[in-house]
Amino acid sequence: MTDHRSLPLSDLSEDEVMFRDQVKAFAQERVKPLVHKMDEEAKMPRELVKECFDLGIMGIEIPDDHGGAGATFFMSILAIEELARVDASVAVLVDVQNTLCNNAILRWGTPEQQKKYFPKLAAEWVGAYALSEAGSGSDAFALACKADDKGDHWELTGRKLWITNGNEADLFIVIATVDPSKGYKGITAFLVERSFPGFSVGKKEDKLGIRASSTCELILEGCKVPKDNVLGEIGKGYKIAIETLNEGRIGIGAQMVGVAQGALDHAVKYSQERVQFGKPIAEFQAVNFLLAEMAMQVEAARLLTYNAARLRDVGQPFIKEAAMSKLFASRTAEFVTSKAIEVYGGYGLTKEYPVEKYFRDQKVGQIYEGTSNMQLMVIAKQLFGKM
């Protein structure tokens, strides 16, 4: 299939191009044949998860002395985009692992925590990030999950909802409050292993899109967590949550760019194959103008996302750019996937053809890791210097 992206290769380093092409080949050769079955069964094969580890895309920023690639955040964004171009479920598995879990431990983990968990996260352990609850969605810090100090350990009690990678994960970053009366100043992050007493994974959601990505309830019933497993400082979990999600939004932007690009790829190809009135529909101005508009939107979303990732890597302010990336890319994905269905006509509505899945997969981009309205709020506050 022709690559319709116009970003000059000179804008990527030789290593970045090589890495991107490796992930692209993996997505085409190993992921693509499984996409339909994974969507139908709402399950990701464990062997495919293992192959993601073998390729090295589950520990992209983990230092090489801990078994990771020791690469950049931007490399993670490239991987997420190329995977989402084929399947958004695999992309979100890799996204959460890198931009949320590994990233949080890289920034706030103690040397002992990094030594303990990074080799596992690079080689075999899937990570998950547990913030949301029934009563705390956009109001992320209205937490009911409680952490009690038991002297020689912490005891966590509560429930978490909408946790990506819940079925596969071995390590969870759980955000709880040590003192509800302190508001956000009581919020603390904990590293919780799946095997800890009192921890279990509950219901798996049956979703519209990203169906092979597990989204689960977590149940903590007096879950015993060692004192050494506090991530960062007690009462500073709000900072970890906010700053990690700011970076994670760039990952969602990359997911949505990939989804939009994948839908565009299929629409361009189909428009050259479908014949009406004696010629391919690509030769009708209404169709090729529509495809041009779609391509322009995808490229703009990609450049917004790449810009945010580059700013993050060089230590420049990026909060506004990250919010813009997620907001614009998710809107672009909705537009492009919808129009791709129109290019296919009636066939676009059937599961026999690929574009209806791209349309279903894109919708979550406007919801998780901060809704579209939350991104608008972040952008506006940045404009007025309130954040």
* Whether residue 207 is found in the same domain as residue 251: no
Chain mean pLDDT for the chain: 95
Domain edge (last residue) among 92, 126, 160: 126
Tens digit of pLDDT for each residue in 156-173?
Answer: 999 999 999 999 999 999
Q: What is the mean pLDDT of residues 191-206?
A: 98
109 by DSSP, 3-state: which?
Answer: coil
* Whether residue 272 is found in the same domain as residue 373: yes
pLDDT attached to residue 6 = 47
pLDDT attached to residue 141 = 77
Tens digit of pLDDT for each residue in 98-108?
Answer: 999 999 999 99
250 by DSSP, 3-state: which?
Answer: helix
* Whether residue 299 is found in the same domain as residue 203: no
Q: What is the mean pLDDT of residues 189-217?
A: 98
Tens digit of pLDDT for each residue in 25-35?
Answer: 999 999 999 99
Q: With contact defined as beta carbons under 8 Å apart, do 234 and 178 qualify?
A: yes
* Whether residue 160 is found in the same domain as residue 37: no
Q: With contact defined as beta carbons under 8 Å apart, do 63 and 118 qualify?
A: yes
Containing domain of residue 32, as a range? 9-126
* Whether residue 252 is found in the same domain as residue 377: yes
Q: Quote the percentage of the chain above a pLDDT of 70.
A: 97
pLDDT at 4 over 80: no
pLDDT attached to residue 387 = 58
* Whether residue 243 is found in the same domain as residue 376: yes
Q: With contact defined as beta carbons under 8 Å apart, do 128 and 171 qualify?
A: yes
Q: What is the pTM of this model?
A: 0.95
pLDDT attached to residue 1 = 46
Helix (H) or strand (E) holding 355: helix 355-362
Q: With contact defined as beta carbons under 8 Å apart, do 80 and 95 qualify?
A: yes
* Whether residue 79 is found in the same domain as residue 142: no
Which candidate in 61, 81, 321, 369 is catalytic? 369
142: pLDDT confidence band, cut at 50, 70 and 90? confident
Q: Indicate the DSSP class of residue 133.
A: B
Q: With contact defined as beta carbons under 8 Å apart, do 73 and 65 qualify?
A: no
Tens digit of pLDDT for each residue in 353-384?
Answer: 999 999 999 999 999 999 999 999 999 999 99
* Whether residue 142 is found in the same domain as residue 93: no
Q: With contact defined as beta carbons under 8 Å apart, do 101 and 168 qualify?
A: no
* Whether residue 54 is found in the same domain as residue 134: no
Q: With contact defined as beta carbons under 8 Å apart, do 205 and 138 qualify?
A: no
Annotation says 369 is catalytic: yes
Q: What is the mean pLDDT of residues 227-256?
A: 96
Q: Quote the percentage of the chain above a pLDDT of 90.
A: 94
pLDDT at 254 over 70: yes
The CATH number linked to 249 is 1.20.140.10
Tens digit of pLDDT for each residue in 52-71?
Answer: 999 999 999 999 999 999 99
Taking alpha carbons only, the member of 328, 353, 332 closest to residue 343 is 353
* Residue 312: both structure tokens together: 């993050």
Distances (CA, A) of 255 to 76, 85, 125, 333: 11, 8, 22, 9
Domain edge (last residue) among 68, 103, 126: 126
Cα–Cα distance measured from residue 54 to residue 348, given in angstroms and rounded to the nearest whole number? 35
- Is 86 part of a structural domain of the chain? yes
- Is 4 part of a structural domain of the chain? no
Residue 27, classified by CB atoms within 10 Å of its CB into exposed (0-12), middle (13-18) or buried (19+), is: buried
Tens digit of pLDDT for each residue in 294-329?
Answer: 999 999 999 999 999 999 999 999 999 999 999 999
Tens digit of pLDDT for each residue in 108-129?
Answer: 999 999 999 999 999 999 999 9
Cα–Cα distance measured from residue 328 to residue 256, given in angstroms and rounded to the nearest whole number? 9
- Is 1 part of a structural domain of the chain? no
Domain edge (last residue) among 187, 212, 236: 236
pLDDT attached to residue 136 = 86
* Whether residue 231 is found in the same domain as residue 286: no
201: pLDDT confidence band, cut at 50, 70 and 90? very high
